[in-house]
Structure 1
Amino acid sequence: MGVQTVGGLANTDLKELEKRFGVMGNQLYYHAWGIDLSKLGEPLIANGTLSFGKVQILLEMCGNVMKRARDAGFVGRTISLGLSYSHNAMTKGFHRSKTIAMPTSETLVMYKTCIELLDEHFAGEPARQLTVRISNLDRERSIQLDLFDERKPQRQLIGPTMDAIRNKFGATSLLRAVSFTAAGTAISRDRLVGGHLA
């Protein structure tokens, strides 16, 4: 379209952007003007169903998604993983879901399920974007004890405890080791507002 700058994007016809890029065209146009109509941390509602999602490094993503679910008082049973391959890849991406037996808000349960989906469906092409989501939600009080899983009550405390520390002292006050690797993004993303440097 010949757009080279943010100013050029701001002065591009909104209808043309929407025609070419759909809802993303609308978002690009308004972002070029510094307008973001979404609320920070707002859950996504699609087709009348509530879900939480995030795009980032997989373990960090799962942690952020589950924190949002816990903060809102939800647990979920359907875990979804989406992967978009590079533009030069020979295959299309995928979006797959798995419904687990017991609803959860545990980060590592979501992460392990995502790894299973990735192992099953990844075609080995260069990846461009990864998304995770938990849906099929219910209120947190619906979690049942498991007679055969003695550590479940302890694991149920880990997430909320970590959330409380982060809420009091900041999002980067308590991080997993992966966040300190070259692939980690939690520290750099903590300085962003709406995906941009504040």
Structure 2
Amino acid sequence: MLAKLALDNGAKHSKDFIAEWRYEDVQEKVWGISPMTEFCGIGHRTVKRLNWLGIRSIREIAEADPYRLKREFGVMGLQLFAHSWGIDRSFLGQKKPAAKVDKSIGNSQVLPRDYTRQDQLELVLKEIVDQVASRLRSSHLKTGCVSVSVGYSKGYLDSKGRSGWSKQRKVSLSNNTKVLSEHVLQLFRSEYNYQDVRHVGVSYSKLVQTDVLQLDLFSDPVQEVNEERLDFLIDTIRKKYGFKALIHASSLMEGATAVSRASLVGGHAGGNVGLSS
């Protein structure tokens, strides 16, 4: 556990991706992790429940009555207590499956006009991927299945007699914006044939609650860590200053919708859930 905390809160933020944390550093480094959502296994809902107990820091978790934590959180309460001391009681050889979440996260848009250009449709899709991937990360989720849906203009039917289509594919667990964008665009390009489009959507399913960065033999681990750090930085800035504080230059191009949708009122955030405009 101490190694995991050192990776998430030390190595990822250093230039050489190296951090050294020892058990004698727990009070300074582990207890100093803030906000609590940066601590492995603690999400926003857990923070609210901890606050209700009067616990507002990792130090206060470590100093809390473990039996009180167990009464409130069950076995997870004891795990939180142990983790706050940098201890994980599970055996290294014991495989613990990631917690599956039976739901999906997505966003769809009715476009302001009929879109006939592939580049503009792909631009909107990438914006949706960006928005929904941020929601995944804020909930400490990763997706194992990506779906794309397209609805044609009113009255338009393609050569197969369809008014639209949807496609999905299984993917390696990820919440990386760049990786998910590549999957979405590949799905879109495999089916799109220059139809007039008025509705597009992206959704992620087979969700898993995990903060582990899954590496494979075909990817550059340094690049993946850099991309994860970039996503984290973008999320942090948007959460603090609003979605429009940091946008991709492509969102200023013709056909983009992210900026205008971020300004929607009436309770509709245009898919930017959890992000102020």
Q: TM-score, normalised by structure 1?
A: 0.69
Q: How many residues get paired? A: 150
- 1:85 aligns with 152
Deviation per residue, 1:120-147 (Å, 9 max, x gap): 1113210110000111111232432335
Conserved 8 A contact 2:143-2:205: yes
Q: Aligned equivalents of 2:269 and 2:236: distance in 1?
A: 26
Q: 1:52 aligns with which of 95, 99, 105?
A: 105
* Alpha-carbon distance, 1:155 to partner: 1.2
Please say if 1:95 is aligned against 2:148: no
Q: 1:106 aligns with which of 176, 179, 183?
A: 176
Please say if 1:167 is aligned against 2:234: no
Cα gap change, 1:196/1:77 in structure 2, threshold over 3 Å: closer, same or farther? Answer: closer
Q: Aligned equivalents of 1:183 and 1:170: distance in 2?
A: 22
Please say if 1:116 is aligned against 2:186: yes
- Structure 2 alignment gaps of length 5 or more: 1-100, 110-123, 271-277
- Computing the radius of gyration over CA atoms, which structure comes out larger, 1 or 2? 2
* Alpha-carbon distance, 1:182 to partner: 1.9
Q: Aligned equivalents of 1:164 and 1:142: distance in 2?
A: 19
Deviation per residue, 1:89-132 (Å, 9 max, x gap): 122211110111x2111112111111111111113210110000
Q: Percent identical across equivalent pairs?
A: 26
Conserved 8 A contact 2:105-2:203: yes
Q: Aligned equivalents of 1:78 and 1:121: distance in 2?
A: 17
- 2:256 aligns with 184
- 1:149 aligns with 220
Cα gap change, 1:71/1:120 in structure 2, threshold over 3 Å: closer, same or farther? Answer: same
- For residue 192 of structure 1, give the secondary structure of its aligned residue in structure 2: coil
Structure 1: 4+ residue segments shifted above 4 A = none
Q: Aligned equivalents of 1:117 and 1:186: distance in 2?
A: 21
Aligned CA RMSD, in angstroms, stands at 2.2
- For residue 125 of structure 1, give the secondary structure of its aligned residue in structure 2: coil
Conserved 8 A contact 1:146-1:152: no
Conserved 8 A contact 2:142-2:173: yes
Conserved 8 A contact 1:81-1:118: yes
- Structure 1 alignment gaps of length 5 or more: 1-47
- 1:66 aligns with 133
Deviation per residue, 1:51-80 (Å, 9 max, x gap): 111124211100000000101110111000
Deviation per residue, 1:12-34 (Å, 9 max, x gap): xxxxxxxxxxxxxxxxxxxxxxx
Cα gap change, 1:196/1:112 in structure 2, threshold over 3 Å: closer, same or farther? Answer: closer
- For residue 61 of structure 1, give the secondary structure of its aligned residue in structure 2: helix
Cα gap change, 1:196/1:96 in structure 2, threshold over 3 Å: closer, same or farther? Answer: closer
Conserved 8 A contact 2:262-2:269: no
- For residue 144 of structure 1, give the secondary structure of its aligned residue in structure 2: coil
Q: What is the letter of the counterpart of residue 95 of structure 1?
A: S
Q: What is the letter of the counterpart of residue 197 of structure 2?
A: A
- For residue 141 of structure 1, give the secondary structure of its aligned residue in structure 2: coil
